[in-house]
Amino acid sequence: MPFGYSRDIFKYPAVQYIPLDRYNEIIKNTDRNRGTTRAYVYNYMENNDLKKKLSYLQYNDNYNIQKGELAVLILNGKVNLVQYRGYEVIMVGKKLPGTHQLFTVTTKYFYKDKVIFILYDGETSERIDIAHVNEPTRNL
C-alpha cells in the first residue's frame, strides 16, 4: 500500500512517484456550490478565469498564478496528498460538501506534454474527478 493508500490508487511502488508540495494553500467553507466534488486546474495564462471562479465562490483574496505553477481548485473536497508520475498527477483526499481548497503546484517536474490530474477518495479508492492539462510547462 504505497503512501498508506490502496493499490487501486497507486499502482506502482512509492519510489516511482514525485511528491508535489502544495503552495499558497487556502481552504474555505461556504454555502455556495454544495454539489459535486470537482477538480479544476489553471495555468498562469488563465488567471482571469480563476479570479472569476473565485469571485463566484466568495473568495476575496487576490490569488495569482505565477509562471511555472499550476493552480488547483477543489470544490466540495480537500486534498491531503499530491504525487506525480508520467502523465498523471494523483491527488488523494475526500469529499467535503461546502469546503473548497485552492493551492498551487510547481510544473518543474513535468516532462510530458499532457498531464492528467486525478482526484481519488482516500478511503474508498473511488475516482472522484479528473482534469486534463495540455502543455503544463509551456512558458516556464
Model pLDDT for residues 69-82, shown as the tens digit of each residue = 999 999 999 999 99
pLDDT digits (tens, 9 = 90+) for 80-134: 999 999 999 999 999 999 999 999 999 999 999 899 999 999 999 999 999 999 8
3-state secondary structure of 48: helix
Whether 3 and 81 have beta carbons less than 8 Å apart is answered as yes
Q: What are the residue ranges spanned by the domains of the chain?
A: 2-6+13-134
| DSSP symbol at 95 | E
Give me the residues paired with residue 73 across strands. Answer: 40, 102
Strand pairing category for 38-43 and 88-106: unpaired
Q: What is the pLDDT of residue 33?
A: 60
Pairwise CA distance, residues 12 & 85, whole Å: 9
Give the DSSP letter of residue 12: S
Q: How many CA atoms lie within 13 A of 36 on its CB side?
A: 8
Please, which pLDDT band fits residue 57 given cuts at 50, 70 and 90? confident
Which cell goes with 126? Answer: 473511488
pLDDT at 85: 96
What pLDDT is recorded for position 138? 66
Helix or strand run (H / E) with residue 10: none
Report pTM: 0.93
